[in-house]
Structure formats: C-alpha cells, structure tokens
C-alpha cells in the first residue's frame, strides 16, 4: 500500500510503497478515507520536534473498519471511525484522577509499526501513521462515529477541532462576555476562535502574521482580525480599555508568541498554550511580573479532552448543525498532493488541507 514517509529533517516527505503489518489480537485495520495535514506532523518534518526516521506521517484521520483481530469488541467491520492518537489506558494515575489526556502510556512520539517493501523498519507518527491508504492500530485508538458524518469532518475531530474546542471549553472554561485573543490561525487556532464565539465570548480577537487569514477568522466567528506586528500588544489592549484580554490562546508553539499572549492578557487573566514547540525555545518571565500580574500560564494537551466522550459529542454537533467545520477546510488533495500541502502549511497558507487517500 502507499503512505507518506519522511526520511530526514528538512527533506520533503514522499509517497512510498510500504508493507502493512497483519492485524493482530486486539487490533483493527482501517481504510483511511480522509486525513488532515496537521502542524504537529510539520514539526516532525522540520525538526522542531525530534522524531525517528524513516517516519510514516499522519495522525488526524477517519476511515472505515476493514478488519478486526481476535478479541476486538469495540468496533466491527464496516463501522466508521475517527482515529485517536492518544488513547488513554484507563489504568494509570492520571487516568484514575480524571486526566486521561495526560495518560502515562498514551501519545508516544512514534513507534516501530511496519516496514518498507524492501524490509526496512519504519516508524509511525503518534502510533498511527495515518497519511496512508490503510493503518493497523489498537482497538482503543478508534472511536466509532455515525456513518452519516462526512469523512472530512470526522477526520478533523481527531485532532484540530477536539484540541481547539477543548482548550476553550475544558482547559480555560471561557465564559460569556470574556475578552479573548487567539494567536496563530491554523486549523487549531481557527477552532479556538469558533469555540470562543460559541461560548459567548466578546470581543474575539484573531491574530496572525498573514493577512490572508482575515477572511477565515471572520468566517468562523472572530469579531476582529489583527496583524501580528510590533504593535500587536498595544492593539490588543486598545480593544479592552487598556486592561488586556481575559483569555489569550497561543496556537503557534513559539516562545515569542507565548510572550505576546502573556503581555496581551490582563492582570488575573489566563494564558493557554495550545501550540507544541521546541524543547530549546525558552520562555523568559521575571519573578516580579509573575507575582505582579497574577496571570495563569498553562498548556492545553489535546484540549484537556477525553476523546471517547468528546468525539461522539462533537460528531452529534456537526450532524445537528450547531458545529460547522466547513470554513476550516481550505484545500483538498490526494496522497500525492500531501507534500505540497505541507509546503503550503510551512508558508502559512490556508487552514486545513484534507487528504483523501
């Protein structure tokens, strides 16, 4: 079968023929029908996040169950599923304390799970490697969704939408009337904008370096779009009577933009880091400003969500029309077009590209 493989830092990924491992006990083989091009995969391509190579890319996807192994009770062949790159074990300390998104056994960067046609060992991103025609995954890495849910929407529920909406609803608990700034308008950032507006926040200020993101931001619910420049903090404070916003969401994963979010937030406000950055990109805050500002700085891992609970809930919202994901999908392509989709993402173009293998 065919899959998108990255072989070295900085090299464009390419489509290759690979061998799919057999479906073992407790495992499920899924035919991928739609997969999102996610910034976390780009971070593994460009070296922001260290990853072993060669690496089958992809972790945001949906498909149809083609085969189940012995002992599988969670799904059956023919069911439509969303892939979950961080399935909780339900047994560790974190799972037992209501924080399955921090599960000790979930979300490993990559694991050996397959091989090339010449016998070379391959790794797969976040246990999935979903930019491929098919995957074999543990049964707890799939979540059944209604067959009438469009596959493109289902794919986005597996990462961007779950992360962005969860950051607003579950991590930050944005309330009606809260002033919100969202810095970085990729698929996750636009999901944050949409969720903040749905929560009744206002103003919802969307910030990006690219003027092309303005139309997208306004389409998903931003009350105003601002260019990220040297005057951005002054501009954000000017929209909030000089105080700063109640909530700032950083959806880039860089020290500089985390610092921007920090400075844009009022005293006593909350800064939520949603973007995943590099381990050597250090954020500097003085002891005095931490004390004086009384701000909260925290991250939102996978939207502080329990995918088994939240993915079906979001699927229902898509089907009943209360959650519209259409504006998030700016490009569609085949597996052969996926390398160029990553190149567009690196240039800051568009929101989400959906790949249909």
pLDDT digits (tens, 9 = 90+) for 61-92: 999 999 999 999 999 999 999 999 999 999 99
Q: What is the mean pLDDT of residues 288-301?
A: 96
Helix (H) or strand (E) run with residue 165 in it: helix 160-166
Among 18-22, 293-297, 308-312, name the one with the lowest average pLDDT.
18-22
The encoded tokens of residue 337 equal 């077009």
Report pLDDT for 51. Answer: 85
Query: In the CATH scheme, what is the code of domain 173-299?
Result: 3.40.50.720
Q: Coil, helix or strand for 35? A: strand
What are 185-198's pLDDT values in tens digits?
999 999 999 999 99
Cis? peptide before 203, omega within 30° of 0? yes
pLDDT (mean) for 151-156: 96
> What pLDDT score does 94 carry?
96
pLDDT at 108: 56
The model's pLDDT over 253-269, given as tens digits with 9 standing for 90+, comes to 999 999 999 999 999 99
For 351, left (φ over 0), alpha (ψ -120 to 50), or beta?
Answer: alpha
Q: Encode pLDDT of 238-249 as tens digits.
A: 999 999 999 999
Give ranges for CATH 3.90.180.10 in the chain. 2-159+304-355
Using alpha carbons, list the distances in angstroms from residue 342 to 2, 41, 336, 339: 18, 9, 12, 5
Is 60:39 a contact under the CB 8 Å cutoff? no
Whether 350 shows a pLDDT value over 90: the answer reads no
Q: Please check whether residue 248 is in contact with residue 262, taking contact to mean a CB–CB distance below 8 angstroms.
A: yes
| pLDDT class of 115 with cuts at 50, 70, 90 | low
Place of tokens 């990006």: 208
**Domain 2-159+304-355 maps to which CATH number in 3.40.50.2300, 3.90.180.10, 3.20.20.70, 3.40.50.11540?**
3.90.180.10
User: Which pLDDT score, from 0 to 100, does residue 112 have?
Assistant: 57
Measured between alpha carbons, how far is residue 285 from residues 26, 45, 264 in Å? Answer: 47, 30, 14
- Burial class of residue 211, CB neighbours in 10 A (0-12, 13-18, 19+): exposed
Instruction: Please say if the pLDDT value at position 109 is more than 60.
Output: no
Q: Which of 335, 314, 279, 291 is CA-nearest to residue 131?
A: 335
pLDDT value, residue 113: 62
Tell how strand 61-68 and strand 80-83 pair up: antiparallel
260 φ/ψ sector (left φ>0, alpha ψ -120 to 50, else beta): alpha
* DSSP string over 167-184: IIIIIS---TT--EEEE-
Measure Cα distances from 13 to 39, 272, 343, 347 in Å. 14, 31, 10, 16
Tell the residue number behind the tokens 């057999």, with chain if given.
Answer: 22
| pLDDT greater than 60 at residue 43 | yes
Q: Containing H/E element for 224?
A: strand 224-227
| Residue ranges of the chain assigned to CATH 3.40.50.720 | 173-299
Strand pairing category for 329-333 and 296-299: unpaired
The answer to whether the predicted template modeling score (pTM) of the entire model surpasses 0.95 is no
């Amino acid at each position: 079968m065919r899959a998108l493989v990255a072989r070295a830092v900085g090299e464009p990924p390419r489509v290759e023929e690979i061998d799919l491992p057999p479906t073992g006990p407790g495992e499920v083989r899924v035919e991928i029908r739609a997969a999102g091009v996610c910034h976390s995969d780009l971070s593994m391509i460009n070296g922001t996040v260290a990853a072993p190579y060669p690496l089958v890319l992809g972790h945001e996807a949906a498909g149809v169950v083609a085969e189940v192994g012995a002992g599988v009770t969670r799904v059956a062949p023919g069911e439509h599923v969303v892939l979950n790159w961080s399935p909780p074990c339900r047994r560790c300390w974190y799972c037992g304390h209501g924080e399955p998104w921090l599960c000790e056994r979930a979300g490993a960067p990559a694991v050996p799970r397959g091989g090339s046609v010449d016998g070379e060992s391959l790794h797969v991103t976040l246990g999935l490697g979903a930019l491929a025609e098919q995957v074999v995954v543990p049964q707890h890495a799939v979540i059944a969704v209604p067959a009438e849910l469009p596959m493109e929407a289902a794919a986005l529920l597996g990462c961007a939408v779950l992360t962005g909406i969860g950051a607003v609803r579950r991590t930050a608990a944005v309330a009606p009337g809260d002033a919100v700034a969202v810095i970085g308008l990729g698929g996750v950032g636009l999901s944050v904008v949409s969720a903040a507006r749905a929560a009744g926040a206002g103003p919802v200020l969307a910030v990006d370096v690219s003027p092309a993101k303005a139309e997208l931001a306004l389409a998903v619910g931003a009350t105003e779009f601002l260019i990220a420049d040297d005057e951005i903090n002054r501009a954000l404070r000017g929209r909030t009577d000089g105080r700063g916003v109640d909530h700032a969401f950083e959806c880039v994963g860089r020290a500089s933009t985390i610092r921007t979010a920090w400075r844009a937030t009022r005293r006593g406000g909350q800064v939520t880091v949603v973007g995943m950055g590099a381990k050597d990109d250090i954020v500097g805050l003085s002891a005095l400003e931490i004390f004086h500002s009384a701000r909260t700085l925290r991250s939102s891992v996978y939207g502080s969500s329990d995918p088994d609970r939240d993915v079906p809930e979001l699927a229902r919202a898509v089907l009943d029309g209360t959650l519209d994901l259409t504006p998030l999908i700016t490009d569609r392509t085949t597996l052969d077009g996926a390398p160029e989709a990553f190149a567009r993402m690196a240039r800051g173009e568009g929101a989400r590209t959906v790949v249909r293998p």
